[in-house]
Structure 1
Amino acid sequence: MLKAIVGIFKYTWIYLAIFCISLIIISPSNINYVYNDFANYCTLLVSVSGMVFTIMGIWLAFLYPNALQRIVNPKTIETVDFTEQLEDTRRLEAIVGSVLKSSFVMITLLVVYLVKLVFFKSHLYLESQEVIKNTSLALIIAISYMQIEAVVSVILANVMFINDLHNKREQRDIDDQV
């Protein structure tokens, strides 16, 4: 559990740094955007999260039982290639990480929309509108980076899978020739 918490903090600083740097750049720049553009971009982030959930869900359904079977089945452990098991474990970690990042993006967007719904037209919002808009834009930049990482993980998982298929096919062809 402690290792997982340390892992979370290890990567969280990157997103916090992106948020802070974005906020520092945005605040004096007087960037003006309309809510519709913001909402459209948030919708795009939600759609990308859905894509990540779908593709990575398929990967989890495929890899997780295989990884568990290799660990649980004693007969498999005797003949298992541990390098392949380690590759599956790393791939599973990347996939779960992508799903968690996309989940965080979705939760963040839910909170942003909820805050807008609750505080829009309130005295607090009207007095702090510029700060809220700048903070929202910086937050969207940070979670966009997070979402890009998740999509890159989707791409890499698929490329690694194709490479594994080619390698196994080539190895099978070599074994058949011998």
Structure 2
Amino acid sequence: MLKERKMLLNKNFKEVLIAFFIFIKSRIVLHSFYIIASLALGYHLVDNVSLADLKPIMGTLQNIAAAVFTLAGIWIAYSYPQAIAAYTSPSSVKVIPTDETKRIENLVLIVLTSAFVISSLLLINMLYLLVYKTISDLNSLHILKMLGVSSVFYLSFLQLKAIFIVMITNILFVNELHHKKTEKDANDDL
């Protein structure tokens, strides 16, 4: 029995690992673009932007990430029980549509993105406190400042993408509701 559980855990772990690598591979090109664009912006703006200029942007980014995190969490709380019910009792509930699965997947990715943004902002603030104030080498200071500016741009790109996905998900959900209402009205008329 114990051996079977270990084999099952190993199989599940391998499946999760494979899914994780497929997920990462599917996002490499887009994130490479975000990173290159962020580094280019950081390089060109490092001399014209002070770290104090970034504070309002970081505060706004933190607030937006928290709001998106909360909104997506509410969506997951609404959608997840329906999805689980479809898988656990298929005789009493219709099979879950693939668009619902995709919606939940997108919402989980949005939550993870917003959590990453908030965590990264916290780390940037901690590194600023611990490292930036203690460096006396101007060249190292310049590089760190460029990386800080670039990081804020990268996090902004990620959060903007998450916002757009939330907007699109909401529009698709409303369209789906209208479609189901139209179907119900048509069936009631018959």
Matched residue count? 174
Unpaired stretches in structure 2, ≥5 consecutive residues:
1-15
Matched, 1:147 2:153: no
Conservation of the 8 A alpha-carbon contact between 1:15 and 1:143 = no
Alignment of 1:26-175 (within 5 A): 26-27=42-43, 31-76=47-92, 80=94, 82=95, 85-123=97-135, 126-175=138-187
Conservation of the 8 A alpha-carbon contact between 1:64 and 1:92 = yes
Letter in 1 for 2:35: F
Unpaired stretches in structure 1, ≥5 consecutive residues:
none
Residue 123 of structure 1 and its aligned partner are, at CA, apart by 2.7
Residue 140 of structure 1 and its aligned partner are, at CA, apart by 1.3
What CA deviation, in whole Å up to 9, does each residue of 1:62-81 have, x standing for no partner? 1000000011014235xx2x
Question: Does 1 or 2 have the higher relative contact order (CA < 8 Å, sep 6+)?
Answer: 1
> How much is the aligned-residue C-alpha RMSD, in angstroms?
1.9
Counterpart-to-counterpart distance in 2, 1:97 and 1:24: 26
Conservation of the 8 A alpha-carbon contact between 1:53 and 1:102 = yes
Q: Percent identity?
A: 26
Residue 103 of structure 1 and its aligned partner are, at CA, apart by 1.1
Give the alignment's TM-score, normalised by structure 2: 0.83
Letter in 2 for 1:69: A
Residue 54 of structure 1 and its aligned partner are, at CA, apart by 1.4
Conservation of the 8 A alpha-carbon contact between 1:125 and 1:132 = no
Residue 159 of structure 1 and its aligned partner are, at CA, apart by 0.8
Residues 9, 124 of structure 1: CA spacing in aligned structure 2 closer, same or farther, 3 A cutoff? farther
What CA deviation, in whole Å up to 9, does each residue of 1:30-88 have, x standing for no partner? 542122221111111110111111111110111000000011014235xx2x4x52111
